[in-house]
């Protein structure tokens, strides 16, 4: 049996997949395939279409991505239109500036039941964008009132909650609602302990449910210790199974989002670890990164290479005997406590999130947003595990023997570079050399 199918039934969704996006993901999972997806966005319609066709043609079970530009994320659509008129460079696809009709035509030329497309954006106040996505017939998008507010915006959480409530209700009212993915498991990319990532992903999923959505996914970003990550994803699946019984949900894992290895070998090794983690934990979908991302925006070819490499590693891992290397540090219990105690603060999930952050009951380490208390601190211990050093006012206990020393600027930089050093400095095995042939641009070896 493929290791993709080893997840206990009680930690899996219990209702049939409804939307095209979820049908594709869960159908692939049932066949023992990991769905892989790039982070890719280009400004002009022709290049964006070429990129999507490249992903569709990859020898991998892939989903397309349209990542939006910075102007669109902050609703500065006039500047995006000006950039299109003048040919100024944009770092993504300006969906609103292009207009729903052009976007619908683009999607119609590349997407289908076996190749849905997700729009990724980063907007804290995204109602104009959601309206345009609905008109364009977009399959899926992502974000959330916390996960797209704290890292990317100065908007108050209360405003983000109201905006995201309108967005959820807008798509819930459609005959064929978009899939919505919580970005809550990816807060700041790194140095946020797993229990808080799990809790935020579940809380955002509950917020989506509260506003009428049932086709959703929950996220988690690879951190610094594979065993701890396995424990965290198991906790996420368990909580989702308990709290989202009437929803169609799945889990999406992100290849590490922090300071990336500088070498090509190191980059492929961290991607490999994330793929194996996804397969071992029964995660249905993986967002990959490429070696180029430590230096610049990757090309279409580099994105396809990364997807095909990931597919080859997923196939290899699925054929291996299962490994049990998860830690047992109480992540589930901490995450459940954070979820339950937050929900007790108000009659709705949205109000509860606003109050919880206002009181420091939820507190993302090193996050400078004005609505985040920023009293909590985390550190990477000698074994590479991400631990609480100081929980602030959150109802959590610091582990016995945890470092309580203040984190210096140098110490913070050292922790931020932990995975960069770990994957760039370790020696490559012959197995890694063989695996890298799948991703070599010259004469790529195709895998199914």
Task: Say what the pLDDT of residue 441 is.
Answer: 41
DSSP, res 405: S
Q: pTM for the full model?
A: 0.90
Q: Which pair of structure tokens corresponds to residue 222? A: 């690879």
Q: How many Å apart are CA 310 and CA 323, to the nearest integer?
A: 19
Q: Which residues pair with 180 in a beta bridge?
A: 141, 216
Task: Say what the pLDDT of residue 434 is.
Answer: 44
Phi–psi pair at 373, nearest 5 degrees: -60, -35
Question: 262 near 224, Cβ under 8 Å?
Answer: no
Q: How many Å apart are CA 19 and CA 415, to the nearest integer?
A: 40
Task: Say what the pLDDT of residue 343 is.
Answer: 98
Residue among 356, 354, 394 nearest 377 (CA):
394
Q: What is the dihedral of CA 371, 415, 268, 442, to 10 degrees?
A: 90
List all residues 6 or more positions away from 446 whose beta carbon is below 8 Å from its beta carbon. Answer: 59, 308
Task: Say what the pLDDT of residue 354 is.
Answer: 98
**Tens digit of each residue's pLDDT, the chain (448 residues):** 233 434 444 565 555 567 889 999 999 999 999 999 999 999 999 999 999 999 999 999 999 999 999 999 999 999 999 999 999 999 999 999 999 999 999 999 999 999 999 999 999 999 999 999 999 999 999 999 999 999 999 999 999 999 999 999 999 999 988 999 999 999 988 899 999 999 999 999 999 999 999 999 999 999 999 999 999 999 999 999 999 988 899 999 999 888 888 888 889 999 999 999 999 999 999 999 998 877 778 899 999 999 999 999 999 998 887 766 678 889 999 999 999 999 999 999 999 999 999 999 999 999 999 999 999 999 999 899 999 999 999 999 876 656 666 777 888 888 888 778 888 886 444 344 444 444 444 334 333 3
Task: Say what the pLDDT of residue 421 is.
Answer: 85
Give the angle subtended at the CA of 287 by the CAs of 21 and 74, to the nearest 5°: 85
| Neighbouring C-alpha atoms within 13 Å toward the C-beta of 176 | 12
**Pairing, β 285-287 against β 35-37:** parallel
**Pairing, β 377-380 against β 285-287:** unpaired
> 113, exposed or middle or buried, with CB in 10 Å at 0-12, 13-18, 19+?
exposed
Q: How many Å apart are CA 267 and CA 310, to the nearest integer?
A: 12
Task: Name the packing angle between helices 300-318 and 45-56 (round to 10°).
Answer: 20
Task: Say what the pLDDT of residue 430 is.
Answer: 38
Domains of the chain: 3-318 (3.20.20.240)
List all residues 6 or more positions away from 279 whose beta carbon is below 8 Å from its beta carbon. Answer: 3, 4, 34, 314, 317, 318
Question: 115 near 63, Cβ under 8 Å?
Answer: yes
Q: How many Å apart are CA 403 and CA 387, to the nearest integer?
A: 9
Radius of gyration over every alpha carbon of the chain, rounded to an integer in angstroms:
21
Task: Say what the pLDDT of residue 439 is.
Answer: 43
H helices of 256-362, where? 264-280, 300-318, 331-343, 349-358
What is the C-alpha end-to-end distance of the chain, expressed in Å? 18
Question: How many C-beta atoms surround the C-beta of residue 398 within 10 A?
Answer: 14
DSSP, res 93: B
Task: Say what the pLDDT of residue 327 is.
Answer: 83
């Amino acid at each position: 049996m493929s290791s993709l199918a080893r997840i206990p039934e009680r930690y899996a969704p219990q209702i049939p997949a409804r939307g095209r996006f979820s049908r594709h993901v869960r159908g692939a999972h049932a066949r023992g395939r990991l769905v892989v997806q790039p982070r890719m966005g280009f400004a002009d319609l022709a290049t964006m279409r070429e990129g999507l066709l490249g992903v569709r043609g990859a020898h991998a079970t892939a989903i397309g991505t349209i990542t939006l530009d910075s102007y669109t994320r902050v609703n500065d659509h006039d500047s995006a239109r000006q950039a299109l008129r003048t040919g100024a460079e944009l770092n993504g696809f300006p969906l609103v500036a292009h207009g729903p009709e052009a976007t619908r035509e683009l999607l119609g030329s590349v997407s289908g039941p076996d190749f849905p497309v997700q729009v990724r954006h980063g907007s804290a106040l995204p109602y104009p964008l959601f309206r345009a996505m609905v008109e364009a017939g977009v399959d899926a998008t992502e974000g959330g009132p916390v996960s797209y507010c704290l890292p990317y915006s100065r908007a108050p959480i209360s405003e983000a909650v109201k905006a995201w409530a309108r967005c959820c209700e807008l798509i819930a009212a459609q005959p064929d609602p978009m899939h919505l993915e919580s970005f809550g498991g990816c807060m700041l990319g790194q140095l946020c302990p797993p229990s808080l990532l799990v809790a935020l992903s579940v809380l955002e999923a509950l917020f989506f449910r509260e506003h009428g959505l049932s086709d959703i996914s929950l996220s988690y970003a690879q951190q610094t210790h594979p065993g701890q990550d396995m424990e965290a994803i198991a906790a996420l699946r368990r909580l989702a199974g308990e709290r989202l019984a009437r929803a169609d949900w799945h889990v999406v894992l992100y290849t590490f989002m922090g300071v990336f290895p500088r070498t090509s070998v190191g980059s492929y090794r961290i991607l490999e670890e994330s793929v194996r983690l996804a397969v071992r934990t029964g995660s249905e979908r993986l967002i990959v990164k490429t070696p180029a991302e430590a230096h610049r925006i990757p090309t279409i070819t580099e994105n396809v290479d990364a997807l095909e490499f990931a597919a080859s590693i997923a196939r290899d891992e699925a054929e291996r005997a299962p490994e049990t290397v998860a830690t047992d540090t109480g992540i589930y219990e901490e995450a459940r406590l954070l979820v339950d105690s937050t929900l007790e603060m108000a009659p709705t999930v949205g109000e509860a999130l606003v109050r919880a952050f206002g009181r420091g009951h939820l507190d993302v380490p090193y996050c400078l947003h004005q609505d985040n208390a920023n009293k909590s601190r985390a550190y990477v211990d000698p074994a590479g595990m991400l631990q609480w050093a100081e929980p602030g006012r959150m109802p959590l206990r610091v582990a016995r023997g945890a470092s309580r020393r203040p984190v210096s600027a140098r110490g913070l930089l050292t922790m931020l570079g932990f995975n960069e050093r770990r994957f760039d400095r370790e020696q490559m095995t012959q197995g890694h050399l063989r695996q890298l042939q799948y991703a070599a641009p010259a004469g790529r070896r195709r895998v199914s």
